Amino acid sequence: MNVVFISPHFPLYFHNFCSRLKIRGVNVLGIGDADYHEISKETKVSLSEYYCVNDLENYDEVYKAVAYFISKYGRIDFIESQNEYWLETDAKLRSDFNVVSGTKFEDLAVMKYKSKMKAVYESVGLNVARYCLVDSFDHALAFIEKVGYPIVVKPDNGVGATSTYKLNNQQELEYFFATKDDRIYIMEEYVNGHVETYDGIADSNKNVLIANSTIMLNSIMDNVNDHCDTAFQNRFVKGTDIEKVGQKVVKAFDTRSRFFHFEFFRLDADKDGLGKKGDLVGLEVNMRAPGAYMPDMMNFSYDSDVYTVWADMIIYDKCFLDLKQQYLVAYIGRRDNFDYLYDNSQLRDQFGFDIVLDVDVPEALSAAMGNHVFMVRSNNQDHLDYMIDEFLKRKDGSSWR
């Protein structure tokens, strides 16, 4: 079997996807824009061969790399990246080289454009926020007259929370129009709720092999725009309403032989047209592994290895592991410039037994993730909540959220 993996060197932990394939005898063929001598040892040993291009955004270069691999190894079985930024590249390569596994470029729109995702969410009975595509200032004003301030604007085809803004009044709206780039933006009514996810791996028949759900304790949009610290935690997903809804969404999208990451709002208050407090509202879909070390969060929750589940799905279309969630896990992202009550070494001394991940974040990812990440786990919700508050406690006693 031959698998092309786009950008295996970034984010840094992506070598895990490649290594689990390679140890099972797969030819893992990496394409990246970092010099071979600059990529990590872990990435090097996880690949059968690495092809360096000058620019991963230059499709012709990437196309030639795949053509070279085909000439040397034969037919390509999968093309993957697990990175939202490269999903269009993945899909175009599949179409151009007739790789039958995975979504082709001509079918990608419903998974890339936020405006098109909404119809799929609605098809399984979920409400979604009202929206309009931003084509003129007058149309934006007319939409706001219907839904009121605040509103949220973001690229219709965008990655993560980049260029996502909450606008509270006409002055901020005018500033947005004066400074926005040429991309098409979507404008949505503001939803008083918090984000919850349904993440996992599906086989070729869209059967969920492993799943997790995370609850965002503050807004990723605010993390990026206001550079605040961040925290989220998972739940035991079996038997929950988000599992029931999530499995319907898995069937509605092209999740065949894929990792998936679905986002929902959980309403914090009743909202006309959307639902009652506690209801789920469809938000976005990402057809790749969840970011921010969340695959490792799944590992720590199940005390297992999600990269192995993914590799076995790719090769055998099965999961051979006996999976059961055993722990609640929290992700805690701290900022370098915040005056916390405890420094990192003090936290290690106090909570060392509970800490399962302790890592600096690359600058390119720190806007949403924080500068340093601790991941902690417990089988007790109260203890998990206590640790989150202690890790983010300020010296002056102010609240972190």
| Residue 369, pLDDT score | 80
Separation of alpha carbons 323 and 304, rounded Å: 7
pLDDT at residue 401, rounded to an integer: 78
- Band (pLDDT 50/70/90 cuts) for residue 224 is low
**If we measure between CA atoms, which residue out of 393, 395, 360, 389 comes closest to residue 374?**
360
Q: How confident is the model at residue 222 (pLDDT cuts 50, 70, 90)?
A: low
Nearest to 195 by CA among 232, 157, 230: 232
Which residue do the tokens 């009202």 mark?
A: 130
**How large is the average pLDDT for residues 251-255?**
96
* Selection from 105, 99, 104 nearest residue 1 by Cα: 99
Residues forming a β-bridge with 32? 52
Mean pLDDT of the chain: 94
pLDDT at 160 > cutoff 70: no
Cα dihedral value 84, 85, 88, 94, nearest 10 = -70
**239 vs 257: CA distance, rounded Å:** 23
pTM of this prediction exceeds 0.85: yes
Q: Confidence band (pLDDT; 50, 70, 90) for 80? A: very high
Give me the mean pLDDT over the 55-77 stretch: 98
Domains defined along the chain, listed by start: 2-107 (3.40.50.20), 130-189 (3.30.1490.20), 193-391 (3.30.470.20)
Percentage with pLDDT > 90 across the chain: 87
C-alpha to C-alpha distances, 91 to 86, 111, 174, 335, 337, nearest whole angstrom: 9, 11, 37, 36, 40
pLDDT tier, 368 (very low <50, low <70, confident <90, very high otherwise)? confident
**Share above pLDDT 70 across residues of the chain, in percent, rounded to a whole number:** 97
